[in-house]
C-alpha cells in the first residue's frame, strides 16, 4: 500500500474531484457529498488535531485548530504541505504513532482505516486513542453494490497495477468496531464516526496489551477485484 500511494500521489485528487481516470465513473451525488463531508470536518471544534495518513491534504486544510498531519509518502507530504499551510505536515508512520500519550485532543483519519488488516486495525485504534482523546474516522460507505471487504486491482495513469485491500462500512459497524462512537456522517459514499478513549475503555473492560501487527496478508487469488476506486 505504501509504494502504491507514493506512486499515486500526483493523480490522487482525481478520486476526490472526479477527474482523470475517475471522470467516466458513475457516482451520483458524489460532489455534493464531498462538500457535506468537508462542511462536517469544518464544523468540528478547533482542537489540537493529528491527521493520520493525510495524503494530499484534501481534508487536512479544513481541520481547525493546531493541526499536525502525517503521511508515510514523501510525495503526499510535498503536496499537502503548501496546501495546508497552517498545519505542520510531517513524514512518518501511523503504527506506531511517533507522538506522546495525550499529545492531541483529536486524531483524525480519512480513508486509511479501511485499508488496514485486522492486527493493524486494532493496533492503530489503540495508538490513536493513546495519543488523542478522540478519534474521528472518515471512510467509504457500504452500498448494496459493495462488499464489506475486497482485494482490488487498481490501475494508475502510467498503466501500472496494484493490489489494495479495501473495506466498506455501515455507520453502525464502524462505530461498533471503534468501541462505540457518534455518527457524524452517514451517506451513500462516506461514513464518519467519532469515537472517544473514555467510551472505548468503558466498553473494553480491564486494559490489555494491543496485539503487534502481522505483516500484510497475502491476497487470495480468487478475491482480486479489478478497480480504480480511492
Ligand atoms: C487513501 S489515502 C487517504 C489520504 C487522505 N487521508 C484522504 O482522505 O484523501 C491513504 C494514505 O495513507 C498513507 N499511508 C499508508 N500507509 C501508511 C502508514 N503506515 N503510515 C502513514 N501513512 C500511511 C498513504 O501514503 C496515503 O496517503
Q: Which atom of ligand 1 is nearest to the CA of 13?
A: 9
HSE-up of 172 (CA within 13 Å, CB side)?
0
Provide φ and ψ at 125, rounded to 5°.
-65, -40
In the numeric block, the cell 473514555 is attached to: 198
* pLDDT, the chain, mean: 90
Cα of 56 vs centre of ligand 1, distance in Å, is 9
Q: Residue 153 Cα, ligand 1 centroid: separation in angstroms?
A: 17
pTM: 0.90
pLDDT above 90 coverage of the chain, percent: 84
| Nearest protein Cα to ligand 1, atom 4 | 55
Residue nearest atom 10 in ligand 1 by C-alpha distance: 112
CB atoms within 10 A of CB 174: 25
Which residues have any ligand 1 atom within 6 Å of their CB?
Answer: 1-2, 5, 53-55, 58-59, 71-73, 76, 93-95, 110-112, 230
Cell of residue 165, nine digits: 485491500
Residues ≥6 apart with Cβ < 8 Å to 150: 165, 166, 223, 225, 227
Helices (H) and strands (E) counted in the chain, each on its own, are 7, 10
Q: Which residue has the higher pLDDT, 103 or 205?
A: 103
Cell of 102: 495525550
Residues 77 and 55: beta-carbon distance below 8 Å: no
Residue with cell 470536518: 41
For residue range 147-196, what is the model confidence (pLDDT) as tens digits?
999 999 999 999 999 999 999 999 999 999 999 999 999 999 999 999 99
At residue 208, the pLDDT reads: 53
Of 3-17, 51-65, 172-186, 202-216, least confident by mean pLDDT is: 202-216
| Distance from residue 35's CA to the centre of ligand 1 (Å) | 21
pLDDT tier, 1 (very low <50, low <70, confident <90, very high otherwise): confident
Query: Which among 152, 148, 150 is positioned nearest to 172, based on CA atoms?
Result: 148
Count how many domains the chain has.
1
List the residue whose alpha carbon is closest to atom 1 of ligand 1: 111
Q: Three-state SS for 188?
A: coil
Q: How far does residue 34's CA lie from ligand 1's centre (Å)?
A: 18
H or E element: which one contains 91?
Answer: strand 88-91
If you average pLDDT over residues 70-94, what whole number do you get?
Answer: 98
The separation between the first and the last C-alpha atoms of the chain, rounded to the nearest angstrom, is: 12
pLDDT at position 78 over 90: yes
78/214: higher pLDDT:
78
Ligand 1: distance of its center to the CA of 183 in Å?
A: 22
Cα-flanking dihedrals φ and ψ of residue 215, to 5°?
-70, 160
CATH code of residue 9: 3.40.50.150
pLDDT tier at 200, thresholds 50, 70, 90: confident
Residue 155 alpha carbon to ligand 1 centre in Å: 17
Average pLDDT over residues 70-82: 98
What pLDDT is stored for residue 112 in this prediction? 98
Domain boundaries, position 200:
2-226
> Counting every residue, how long is the chain?
230
User: What is the residue whose three cell numbers read 482542537?
Assistant: 47
Q: Mean of the pLDDT values across residues 71-92?
A: 98
Amino acid at each position: 500500500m505504501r509504494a502504491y500511494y507514493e506512486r499515486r500521489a500526483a493523480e490522487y485528487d482525481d478520486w476526490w474531484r472526479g477527474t482523470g481516470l475517475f471522470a467516466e465513473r458513475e457516482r451520483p451525488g458524489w460532489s455534493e457529498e464531498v462538500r457535506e463531508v468537508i462542511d462536517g470536518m469544518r464544523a468540528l471544534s478547533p482542537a489540537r488535531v493529528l491527521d493520520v495518513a493525510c495524503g494530499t491534504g484534501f481534508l487536512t486544510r479544513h481541520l481547525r485548530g493546531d493541526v499536525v498531519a502525517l503521511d508515510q509518502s514523501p510525495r503526499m507530504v510535498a503536496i499537502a504541505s503548501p496546501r495546508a499551510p497552517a498545519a505542520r505536515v510531517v513524514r512518518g508512520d501511523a503504527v506506531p504513532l511517533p507522538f506522546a500519550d495525550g499529545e492531541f485532543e483529536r486524531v483524525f483519519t480519512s480513508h486509511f482505516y479501511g485499508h488496514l488488516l485486522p492486527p493493524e486495525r486494532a493496533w492503530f485504534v489503540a495508538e490513536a486513542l493513546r495519543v488523542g482523546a478522540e478519534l474521528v474516522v472518515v471512510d467509504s460507505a457500504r452500498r448494496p453494490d459493495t462488499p464489506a471487504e475486497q482485494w482490488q486491482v487498481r490501475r494508475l495513469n502510467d498503466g501500472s497495477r496494484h493490489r489494495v485491500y479495501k473495506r466498506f462500512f455501515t455507520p453502525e459497524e464502524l462505530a461498533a468496531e471503534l468501541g462505540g462512537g457518534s455518527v457524524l456522517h452517514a451517506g451513500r459514499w462516506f461514513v464518519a464516526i467519532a469515537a472517544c478513549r473514555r467510551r472505548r475503555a468503558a466498553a473494553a473492560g480491564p486494559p490489555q496489551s494491543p496485539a503487534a501487527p502481522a505483516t500484510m496478508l497475502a491476497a487470495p487469488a480468487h478475491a482480486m477485484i479489478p478497480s480504480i476506486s480511492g
